[in-house]
């Protein structure tokens, strides 16, 4: 297959995710540290040349809705740049959907950056942010991953558009479990609203404070995910995954994003490998990662 460019789209985990009450515009504010992990979707782009600014997605591994993050991203890219031709995107989907790992958003960000290179449009940061705002809140973070094969971390605020990059830790070893649960973002926010109303009582933390905790020993972390309690009540399998990670010695275990994936952090490569060997006997989708 002759393609114009091939790119990787990394997954992310949330190390802590505090959700604020819904704002006047309907969005919730968040406070979180996003960290990429070396788990990738793969995209190949082929310019068709037909006019019409249509994006045709061929996906291996998942049935995508006709309108998805890739088609949305291409539509807005064409609106911003004036590009007017059809495009085919071949997507190898490895990152599970509905897992809180940002796969759809990462795919969109990788597509935007690839399109910018293919068409030589030299998008400004403001233009990239505009496109991201029309596709999804997590896209802002992934737009900052200049080299997806290296770790990228940031303190993320606002609705996701405030991205303050920080030095990513390379001394962490992960085990990831994806329970057989699909958690849509809309459902997760509805459950959070029901869980915390009317007693939202959050103290805000600065980016510097969150970064400071991130750099402390993992076993001292006090990060929480506002989605975890309501999602575990609704989907006990998520709680089972968290408990299994703790039982095999994770220094820190939490749910990523709005779920349903859960991850554990281990202090050594060997301890993570040992935990993975135990957990994969039970969990069909179980993975271990580390950035070398």
As annotated, the active-site residues are 12, 138
The neighbouring-strand residues paired with 47 are: 87
Contact 181, 51 (CB under 8 A): no
Contact 69, 107 (CB under 8 A): yes
Tokens of 184: 């849509």
- CA pair distance 163, 97, nearest whole angstrom: 23
The neighbouring-strand residues paired with 36 are: 12
- CA pair distance 284, 16, nearest whole angstrom: 25
- CA pair distance 73, 57, nearest whole angstrom: 12
Contacts of 168 (CB under 8 A, 6+ apart): 35, 36, 151, 152, 153, 291
Give the Å distances, CA to CA, from 86 to 67, 76, 103, 106, 134: 15, 13, 23, 21, 20
Per DSSP, the residues of 122-183 read ---HHHHHHHHHHH-TTHHHHHT-SSTTS--EEEEETTTTEEEEEPPPSS-EEEEE--S---
Q: CA 14, 19, 22 angle in degrees (round to 5)?
A: 140
């Amino acid at each position: 297959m002759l393609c114009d460019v091939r790119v990787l789209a990394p997954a992310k985990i949330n190390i802590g995710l505090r959700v604020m009450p819904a704002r006047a515009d309907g969005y919730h504010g968040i406070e979180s540290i996003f960290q990429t992990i070396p788990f990738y979707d793969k995209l190949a782009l082929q310019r068709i040349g037909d006019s019409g600014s249509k994006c045709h997605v061929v996906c291996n591994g998942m049935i995508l809705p006709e309108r998805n993050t890739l088609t949305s991203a291409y539509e807005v890219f064409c609106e911003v740049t004036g590009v007017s031709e059809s495009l085919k995107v071949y997507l190898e989907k490895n990152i599970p959907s509905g897992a809180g790992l940002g796969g759809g958003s990462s795919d969109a960000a990788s597509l935007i950056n690839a399109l910018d290179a293919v068409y030589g449009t030299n998008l400004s940061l403001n233009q990239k942010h505009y496109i991201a705002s029309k596709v999804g809140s997590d896209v802002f973070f992934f737009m900052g991953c200049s080299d997806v094969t290296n770790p990228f971390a940031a303190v993320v605020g606002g609705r996701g558009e405030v991205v303050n990059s920080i030095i990513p830790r390379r001394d962490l070893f992960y085990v990831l479990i994806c329970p057989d649960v699909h958690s849509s973002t809309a459902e997760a926010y509805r459950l959070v609203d029901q869980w915390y109303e009317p007693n939202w009582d959050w103290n805000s933390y600065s980016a510097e404070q969150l970064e400071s905790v991130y750099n402390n020993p993992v076993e001292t972390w006090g990060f929480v995910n506002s989605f975890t309690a309501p999602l575990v009540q609704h989907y006990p399998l998520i709680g089972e995954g968290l408990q299994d990670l703790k039982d095999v010695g994770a220094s820190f275990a939490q749910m990523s994003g709005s779920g349903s994936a859960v991850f554990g952090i281990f202090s050594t490569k060997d301890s993570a490998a040992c935990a993975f060997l135990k957990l994969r006997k039970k969990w069909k989708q179980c993975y271990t990662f580390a950035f070398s």
